[in-house]
Structure 1
Amino acid sequence: MAFSLMPKTTEFFDLFDMQAENLVQGSRLFLEIVNEKKFEDVSAERMHALEHKGDEINHKIVNVLNETFVTPFDREDILALAGNMDNIIDAMYLITKRLSIYKIKETTPELKQYAVLLEKSVLTLQKMVKTMRLGSKAMKETLKYCVEINRLENEGDALRDKAITHLFEESKDPIFIIKWKEIYEAAESATDMCEFVANTVETILVKNN
């Protein structure tokens, strides 16, 4: 089946755009939380609201899929893309919740870098998703965004290693180390989730062009 606008409805693309916008809001909230050291419960609750909205959009995609005979690309790829996008906001909520549970009072340069990196990844993802409704006409542009998301994920890996190395070098408190190691790994997993979305989009392009 060709990757095109064969279906009479663009509802899937509209919903993917909605999910991407929700991710942008989540990344900006996370950046605000980290920069302003808002690690209290209310911040986790704000992120939870966005996580809940992501779940609702994901459920809507599944419902539309069940009601649609002709889809813009394979059903399993629609489910994979929807699920992987939803996992990103889940990861953001997990980090925010950990910061609250662990009673973190101060931020770190590495966490600030992760907040910036995650926002860049999500903004690139949003651009990538917007091009998908254009199909093969925008394939090169779509792939360009996929490559950029993969590059940013590699930055996330390197930042995790740097952060954890610095953590062990500078701290002798085992509880402090355990808390921050988990936070850094959770932050890195959020960039992983962005890469999973990019990989899913690349698979869609290969299968349908």
Structure 2
Amino acid sequence: MFNKKSDKFSLYLVDFAQHLVQATDHFVHYKVKDPVTLREFANTIKQYETEADNKVHDIIKNLNQAFITPIEREDIMQLTMTLDDIMDGMEQFTALMDIYQILNSDNYIDRFSDNILKCSNEILTAMELIADKKLKKVESHAIMIKDYEQQCDDLYRESLRNLFQSEKDPIVVIQYKEIYETLEDIADACQNVASTLQSIIMKNA
């Protein structure tokens, strides 16, 4: 099933995962100081998301032209689209922060973001292993992604519980509820990547 040389689709996925890590690293570590830097933050993530859309287009174009693929076409497509879902979620989050003019993260946003960055790093490692024809080693990284997503599930419930108990302003409640839901959606997209990786492992065992 796998030749000695890395196929172009595996390399496309590695490139996409590298792009994801770069975007997520900026997403986590960029420091917003005022409305100007908040807008810069949102615009930069939007640029990462636009570049990701171009990568999706390139993969689909080459997939349609390929006669043989290293793994099933639908698996390549599923990995591509779920990686794009993560990028879309980050772009949506930064857009919300800009729209609502929220200049500071909180403990929950920081913890969500940290888990999302960890997921991104695990995704990149998994893609590199697929490119290196080391499919059996991918499982542990898929499991780690799901563990981080589970932490985000717990964090989501905790964040909403705290929000409804401590915040009296209904507008603020609406804003932060949407922000926490968006972060949870990003984590769910990471889990979808992990599930696709596990499906690929089973099909090629």
- 5+ residue gaps, structure 1, are none
Partner of 2:158: 162
Q: 1:10 to 1:140 in 2, by over 3 A?
A: closer
Of 148, 171, 177, the residue aligned with 1:175 is: 171
CA distance in 2, matches of 1:84, 1:150: 14
Task: Give the paired residue count.
Answer: 203
Partner of 2:193: 197
- 5+ residue gaps, structure 2, are none
In the alignment, does 2:22 pair up with 1:25? yes
Local SS of the residue matching 1:104 = coil
Q: 1:159 to 1:134 in 2, by over 3 A?
A: same
Q: Which piece of structure 1 moves more, 8-17 or 119-128?
A: 8-17
CA distance in 1, matches of 2:71, 2:84: 19
Does the 8 Å contact 2:136/2:201 carry over to 1?
no
In the alignment, does 2:11 pair up with 1:14? yes
Q: Report 1:134-173 matches (<5 A).
A: 134-135=132-133, 138-173=134-169
RMSD between aligned alpha carbons?
Answer: 1.6
TM-fit CA distance, 1:37:
5.1
Local SS of the residue matching 2:88 = helix
CA distance in 1, matches of 2:145, 2:105: 25
TM-fit CA distance, 1:9:
6.5
Q: With the length of structure 2 as denominator, give the TM-score of the two structures.
A: 0.93
Does the 8 Å contact 2:75/2:200 carry over to 1?
yes
CA distance in 1, matches of 2:33, 2:77: 36
Does the 8 Å contact 1:37/1:107 carry over to 2?
no
Local SS of the residue matching 1:107 = coil
Of 39, 45, 48, the residue aligned with 1:47 is: 45
TM-fit CA distance, 1:43:
1.2
Q: 1:96 to 1:38 in 2, by over 3 A?
A: farther
Q: With the length of structure 1 as denominator, give the TM-score of the two structures.
A: 0.92
Does the 8 Å contact 2:163/2:173 carry over to 1?
yes
